[in-house]
Amino acid sequence: MVTWGKRNEELILPINSSLSVTLHQDQLKTTTTVASSRSFQEDRIWLNGKEEDITHPRIQSCLREIRRLARKRRNEVDPSLDSTGLSHKVHICSVNNFPTAAGLASSAAGFACLGKSQKNKTRTSNMLSPVCGSGSACRSMYGGFVQWIMGQRDDGKDSLAQQVEPESHWPELRILVLVVSHAERKPVGSTSGMQTSVQTSCLLKHRATSVVPGRMGEMIDAIRRKDFASFAELTMRDSNQFHATCLDTFPPIFYLNSVSQQIISLVHRYNRHCGETRVSYTFDAGPNAVIFSLQQHVPEFLQLVQHVFPPETNGGQGLPVKSTSLPEELKQAIGLEPISKGIRYVISTKAGPGPCVVEDPAQHLLGSDGLPEKTV
């Protein structure tokens, strides 16, 4: 369930609560290494092998808030906390094994890693959204099904992430990520897009006050009961309304493309043919589709996807999917001609845990000099 829009930009407080599923790190992951040293002359950050601007407001907000909380903990709770490191500059290196800035929560994953590493180092506790630097990142601090409670306080101290159910709760649930071909970095970033929507979209205000509160309760109930039909319909309706809000923004924002729209059509045609809801879709701020289904239905639907959108690379990635043949009757019922160069590849995954510490030094991304390893 999408969060779109903030009531306080500085504190990263949302206009509505939201819910997400943390994907398994065995298939989609962000790896982040953070180092601090008195020898570092300035804060620096590298993303996917390229140095980025660390003066970005969200990064600075994250670092500033973590240091503030660490000082507060040292002064009020734990005098033994090493105070020297609080004034040292930091080097951050982060790598995604999935597309960046394409609507797959790459920034949330990266900020969650950064928040987790600094949380461990400074022994801070709750992850408020400003600490994580990204609102969605506070949800990514937990595994499984997680809600971000919007809260009511002006200072944001009641705006927190809370695990609804752990990743082991619904073992039959599977997730397919359809990575669309030619999915470049989105032309309108999420932050600027949200700001424009808050200023211009009447639908956004209606959604936040009249739709999401009730839908959140229904979604949590469907997850706890493992009611896939209800979960699937709520997921699709929420995705559709989010993108309707983007179109209601002025000027309008287009995150979906023609392939995204064909995926939506394929899902509805398949469910109609089956006489029940077997798959659902959701799209964040980008054209890539996230498909939910139960394990027993994944082989057939994946074959259907590969029939309609012949992948550019052989096979998929992630969890193995049992091979199956596609009935001719199903091809005829769907009635969609194959579209070449529509989908680059498919990642098969499931719900997974939150951030974990990488103990093996060989997997750390920064060398002893604080610079990225050549393999990054």
* Per-residue pLDDT at 264 exceeds 80: yes
Q: What is the pLDDT of residue 273?
A: 96
The mean predicted confidence, pLDDT, of the chain is 86
Which residues 6+ apart lie within 8 Å of 166 measured at CB?
Answer: 143, 144
The better pLDDT of the pair 249, 321 is held by 249
**Largest Cα–Cα distance in the chain?**
71
Q: What is the pLDDT of residue 102?
A: 47
* Per-residue pLDDT at 291 exceeds 90: yes
Could you give the CA distance from residue 265 to residue 136 in angstroms, rounded to a whole number?
28
Q: What is the pLDDT of residue 108?
A: 65
Q: What is the pLDDT of residue 106?
A: 60
CATH class of the domain whose range is 173-349: alpha beta
Q: Using one digit for the tens of pLDDT, what is the confidence trace for 184-218?
A: 667 788 889 999 999 999 999 999 999 999 999 99
Q: Using one digit for the tens of pLDDT, what is the confidence trace for 312-365?
A: 665 566 677 777 788 999 999 999 989 888 998 899 999 999 888 888 888 899
Q: What is the pLDDT of residue 167?
A: 98
* Per-residue pLDDT at 367 exceeds 90: yes
Could you give the CA distance from residue 280 to residue 277 in angstroms, rounded to a whole number?
8
Q: What is the pLDDT of residue 376?
A: 56
The most confident of 99-108, 184-193, 231-240, 313-322, by mean pLDDT: 231-240
The better pLDDT of the pair 170, 106 is held by 170
Could you give the CA distance from residue 63 to residue 161 in angstroms, rounded to a whole number?
19
* Per-residue pLDDT at 79 exceeds 50: yes
Average pLDDT over residues 139-153: 92
- Domain 6-168+356-363 fold is Ribosomal Protein S5; domain 2 (3.30.230)
Q: Using one digit for the tens of pLDDT, what is the confidence trace for 30-74?
A: 888 888 888 999 999 998 888 989 888 878 877 887 777 777 777
**Domain range list for the chain:** 6-168+356-363, 173-349
Report CA-CA distances (Å) from 136 to 140, 245, 348.
Answer: 7, 19, 22
Q: What is the pLDDT of residue 118?
A: 61
The better pLDDT of the pair 366, 187 is held by 366
Q: In what order do the strands lie in the sheet with 18-21?
A: 18-21, 145-149, 160-165
Of 284, 348, 339, nearest to 312 (Cα)? 339
**Is 12 in contact with 127 (CB distance < 8 Å)?**
no
Residue 128 confidence class, pLDDT cut points 50, 70, 90? very low
Q: What is the pLDDT of residue 130?
A: 44
Burial of 58 (C-beta count, 10 Å sphere; 0-12/13-18/19+): middle
